[in-house]
Each structure stands twice: as C-alpha cells, then as structure tokens.
Amino acid sequence: AKQAPQNVIGAAYMQRSLALTAVVCARTSRALLQRPAPLRPSVRMASTTTLYDPTPFYAAAQPPETKDFCMQQTMVRVKDPETSLKFYIETLGFQLVMFRDFPQWGFSVYFVAHGLTGPVPADEDARWDFCMRTPGCIELTWNHGSEKSDGAVYNTGNADATGTKDGEAVKGGFGHLGITVPDVYEACERFKKLGCTFTKTPNSGGMKGLAFVKDPDGYLIEVLPQGPMITKPLDCDGVAAEGGDGYKDNSKA
C-alpha cells in the first residue's frame, strides 16, 4: 500500500487533537455551568482574621412567648454601698429605684437606673413592680461587712489579680458597664473635676471619642456619645485628637 507523506499525517494528527480538545472543553464548560454555585461562607474576612457574620439575626423573629420580657438588670458586688451609691447617683446621674435588705442572709441590694418613666412609687409593693419593669437597671449588691475590708474586695474581670489564690491576674469574662451622654468631652471634663479615675480619656488610645472611668470598686464604665462618634482637638487630660497610644485590650495585663 502506498504510504501518505509525513506532512499529511502530521496535519491529520493535529486536526484530530484539536477536535478532541474542543470536545473536552465543551464538556467541561457544560459541567461547570450545571454544577451548583458554592455556598457563600457565613463569615466576613478582615485582614487574616475570620469574623462571624451575625446579620441574619436582624431579621430573626422574636419568639411570641418573650414579647413582654425585659432586660432588667446587671448585678455587680460593691464593697461600700454609700460610696457606690454616691458615685452612681451624684456622678453618673442614676436614680435609686428600689432597695431591699436581707439581714438574715447578710446582704442588701440597691437598684439604680437612668431614664425612669415616672416617679418612684412610695408604696413598697408598687416600687417593686415599677423596678421589675424598668429596663437597664444596675443592681449594686452589698455583702454586709465587706466595707471593713482593706483594699479591693472584688475582681473586676479586667486583668485583675483581686481574689486569686496565686496573685496572678486573670482574664475574666466581665468587661464593663456603659452609659451614653450628649457630649463625651463635656461629660469627661465634669468627671475629671469630680475626681474620677480614667483608664482612657476621649483622645487617648486607638478609638477616639469614647472614654472609660472607674467606679469605686474599680469596675469600668464606658462613656459613649448618643450621636456620631466625633472628636475634639483636646480632651480633659490635654491629649490631642491625633495623639494617644493604640488600642488596649482591658482583659490583658
């Protein structure tokens, strides 16, 4: 049999290879188009840190059984009730809503709050009902006799060694309480004049326009604006808006 020239054989081989490649590409394209799109991850990325995405909870329906529930209180233990009540009422502007003494168990509780919907009732039972319907109370708990102790009594949760057996600071779960004010800078000027202890003035640290003060037991109180997070050139300590150290994690020593 007569053999075909080499160049003809090469051309035919090339045509066949191209045809097979085209078939494979077409099949691959169809498979990719038919394959379901990958699920979007439920996290957002910031730098190299994986962040949890809570946005679906914005649309979450409230269980009907909870429609009348109220976030009524956060409790902190205090060493001296008079000192603490003066701070929360005279410095931070809270109002006493209710108190109860339990001498048989050796403690007393004092509920303070902002934004009361009316005067505190004179009747004790009515006062209880009023308090239990007031959102955002702080329950200051005094264990009788703690005022006689030397130094700090309770661990504040923020790199605090109080109460630890080995004297080492612990990374507690509690962080701070918080209030909002019309003007953070003006509020902090007043707090400074009243002798408050700051762990962060408005312009210090990496986050500008907010502050932290300590209550008499050392618990942190965050001070935030009721509007936009603005900055002013100087704060109550004379720190410039472009000054201050970076962000500080209060849970770490």
Cα 115 to Cα 101, 123, 135, 139, 224, distances in angstroms = 24, 20, 9, 16, 16
E strand segments, the chain: 43-46, 49-52, 73-78, 95-102, 107-113, 137-143, 158-160, 170-171, 177-181, 197-200, 211-214, 220-225
Per DSSP, helices labelled H in 36-112 are: 81-86
3-state helix, strand, coil in the chain (%, to 5): 30, 25, 50
Strands 220-225 and 177-181: what pairing? parallel
User: Residue 90's closest CA among 182, 168, 190?
Assistant: 190
By the 8 A CB rule, do 138 and 113 touch?
yes
Report how far residue 18's alpha carbon sits from residue 25's, in angstroms, rounded to the nearest whole number: 10
User: Residue 140's closest CA among 106, 112, 103?
Assistant: 112
46-49: list long-range contacts, CB under 8 Å, 24+ apart.
none
By the 8 A CB rule, do 108 and 142 touch?
yes
90 is catalytic: no
Catalytic residue among 65, 139, 147, 222: 222
Catalytic residue ranges = 222
